[in-house]
Structure 1
Amino acid sequence: MALAGCNLLPASGPYSVEVTSAATQDTDGVGYKLVPVTAQVVQVLASMDSKGLIGTFRNDRRSIPDIKIGVGDVVGVSIFEASSGGLFIPAEAASRAGNFVDIPAQTVDPNGMISVPYAGQVRAAGLQPSQVEKEIVDRLRNRAIEPQAVVSVKSQRSNSVTVIGEMTTPAKFPLTSSGERVLDAISRGGQITSKGYDLFVTLQRGNREATISFNRLIREPANNVYLQPDDTIYVFSRPRTFLAFGATGRQGQFNFGDDSISLSEAVAKSEGLVDQQADPQSAFLFRVENRTTLERMGVDVSHLPEARIPTIYQVNFREPTGYLLATKIPMRDKDIIYIGNAGSVELTKFLNLVLLGALTVESITNANSNIYGVN
């Protein structure tokens, strides 16, 4: 009767037996996996981190970008001849300084072309300056005296990177042949207005994008990848939080307040387990886990078709090893911690309810006796 009555008692969440029962692991079409925390589970969780920037853009084998002339760039052309009396240098060479002529700078037109006297329309977009130089020389070879050409980009408008987000001076700037990395671009945006542990960086390239925490970007140089033309960098703040319910010292929503925290640190932030109420064997961590992660732990998920599976990790804080394992479990944004009540607490609630009922009946009986004189 006491166990049956427990379901009618007030509580801050599910009873431990309901969480661990196999019958409740597929309720209302919402299936979840209960995973007891072991050394193998912790090893997988500790090694599971987001791929970062290098993981997403690993196939971009280029390091320093191959900067080419593009539509909208302003290009200058200088043409040299070996001696005077040619196509560009007059016979009276002494009347001019040098054996070259500068063609006025011009913008690469929408068709990707520039105009060179006596050479006509020359394609420039998509080519390196040396390739454009060769084309000009080939066209002038039979008309000028041993012609040479120098092509330079006066103003680069096509091979640019955009940096936006929570910084004082968002910017768009051209890439150079020396190569710029992600942190170089962020430094162009001025002062960052948020704390480093709450800051994230998203790199968008074509139809791909990847996000990494700012502190991890600093800590792992491999993720500070070279930028490519038309990349967009978005810097934003997103305070990461977790929720704590049940028999914890304090319930509610808590900020990480650091680049990363462990499960044991998160429990401490919620002021630990209540000594008179908590069941140390019933500490649960709720999250949606990747299917591949559970498979690496040896969890059978063959009956669940989803790629992301609701998962509840159970930690036994009654064992000393439970605390050690919890220090190696990294928390994730929007995780939920739930500490179940001890069985004695539920029994005490029920007995108090029975005692309250008995006292109420006795009070009514005494009242009737006093009013009607009934013994």
Structure 2
Amino acid sequence: MWTRGLRSGGTLIAVLGVSACTTLPRSGPDDKAIRQEAAFHIQGPKAGNPLLDYALVDLTPNVLSYFPQKPATSLSAGFGSKRSGPPSVSLGVGDVVEVSIFESAAGGLFVPADAGSRPGNYVTLPRQTIDTGGNLSVPYAGRIRAAGRSMAQVQADIERRLADRAIEPQVVLNLVESRSSQISVLGDVNSPAKFETTPNGDRVLDAISRAGGITASGAESYITLQRNGTSATVLFNTLLEKPEENIYLYPGDTIFVNRERRTFLALGASGLTGRIDFEESNITLAEAVGKSGGLLDASADPGQVFVYRLVDPAILARMGIPVDFKAGTGYPVIFRSNMRDPSAYFLAQSFPMQDKDILYVSNADAVELTKVFNIVASATSTVSGTATDVVLTSNPSRAFRK
């Protein structure tokens, strides 16, 4: 009777299994239907073969030497700190200036004798823009070279030219609008704009402040300074931590603020899975494991901690790994750290993570075995329960026997 019930239960399970393919709810078509309905199917490699060739590299002190911490960038090294003071600003093409000429007495070239109630003994010329040739015009003095010269130099030049015509002339040059001495602040700031440089000089943080400040965290904001075809980049927090990096700006400088959200992906038997922000400028493998919740005691294999990364083939060549890959595309490499070894934590603390790395913690072998046992136990329990139900159904009176 038991054998017959078990056989009947197996038949019932088979029937239910077949009917489940078409009757159980789904959120979409199954993989079999997708394959059958496809007009073309470009198959991947056979089972057991990887989609890509890759290198497996165990993390050792020798390997670590090829992947040092990213060197800190510097503005002061590239452009000089200029601690002596702000740069001297000269006049330039496009600047709008106003020239006032004073004479010591009436009856001169610019102040007539019958000035009457005229206020003061000077005349102010109409505002003018320094032309593309770098010149401005002053009556009786002619064209005066202004671009590239200081205001004091231009004033002295005008006075010299008028000395034999006006009565002890004195010239005051007023800069109405400085268009040649501007700096630009662009990117991830609240109010990107162009600003005129101030006489006392502007530093990098001054310009960013005038643009409303950065819009993201200082640990994710990079500041690029461009000057005369040269550029240098530094982390915003570095400007705060190292005052010597907060250098003076020059006319024509451009500051670009860029938020670089640096993340890694944590998968496998770690406490947290998903995309995780660096939050700091640089983190190590040990810190990445900590940020992802550590290794789960119940499932993780500490000896199998992996980092997936595309590595410059030139670095692998220096390591003696033969790779045949186009330069710049990156070669797939999996770094393995055996954290069962106590000394491996020192290496992990020195191995730098990179943006878009994948951290994968493998399950322990015992976990996989437990999964198999659970499946077997679940299947055995289901079959046994079904067989009992079939027996009771075939002979309902047994259910009421004591």
Q: What's the TM-score, normalizing by structure 1? A: 0.70
SS in 1 for 2:283: coil
1:52-63 matched pairs, under 5 angstroms:
52-54=74-76, 58=78, 60=79, 63=82
Q: AA paired with 2:336?
A: Q
Asked whether 1:250 is paired with 2:268, we answer no
Q: CA deviation at 1:121?
A: 2.6
Residue 155 of structure 1: how far off its partner (Å): 2.3
- Does structure 2 retain, via aligned residues, the 8 Å contact 1:67–1:176? no
Give 2:327's aligned residue.
306
Task: Please tell me whether the aligned partners of residues 65 and 177 of structure 1 are also in contact (alpha carbons under 8 angstroms).
Answer: no
Structure with more of its chain in strand, by fraction: 1
| CA deviation after TM superposition for structure 1 residue 184, in Å | 0.8
Partner in structure 1 of residue 143 of structure 2: 121
User: 2:184, 2:316 → 1: CA distance?
Assistant: 39
Match of 2:89 in 1: 67
CA distance 1:168–1:345, change in 2 (3 Å) = closer
1:184 aligns with one of 200, 203, 206: 206
Structure 2 residue 289 is matched with structure 1 residue 267: yes
Q: SS state of the match for residue 161, structure 1?
A: strand
2-side partners of 1:151 and 1:301: how far apart?
Answer: 70
After superposition, the Cα gap between the structure-2 partners of 1:217 and 1:313, relative to the gap in structure 1 and judged at 3 Å, is: farther
- Given that residues 81 and 244 in structure 2 are in contact (C-alpha distance below 8 angstroms), is that contact kept between their aligned partners in structure 1? no
How far residue 126 of structure 1 moved from its aligned partner, in angstroms, is 3.4
In structure 2, the residue matched to 1:199 is: 221
In 2, Cα distance between equivalents of 1:271 and 1:61: 43
The offset of 1:330, in angstroms, is: 3.5
- Give the CA deviation at 1:100: 5.7
Aligned AA (1:256): F
One-letter amino acid of the counterpart of residue 217, structure 2: K
Aligned CA distance change for structure 1 residues 98 and 267 (closer, same or farther; 3 Å): same
Contact kept, 8 Å, 2:92 with 2:134, in 1: the verdict is: yes
Q: Distance in 2 between matches of 1:142 and 1:270?
A: 82
Secondary structure, aligned partner of 2:307: strand
TM superposition shift of 1:41: 4.5
Q: Where does the alignment leave 5 or more consecutive residues of structure 2 unmatched?
A: 1-48, 389-402
Larger radius of gyration: 2
- Is 1:162 the counterpart of 2:188? The answer is no
Whether contact under 8 Å (1:36, 1:313) holds in the other structure is yes
Deviation for aligned residue 1:165: 4.5
Is contact 2:80-2:247 (8 Å) kept? Answer: no
Q: CA deviation at 1:272?
A: 1.9
* Paired positions, count: 341
Query: Could you say which residue in structure 2 is the equivalent of 1:5?
Result: none
Partner amino acid, structure 2, of 1:132: V
Whether 2:334 is the aligned partner of 1:285: answer: no
Q: CA deviation at 1:77?
A: 2.6
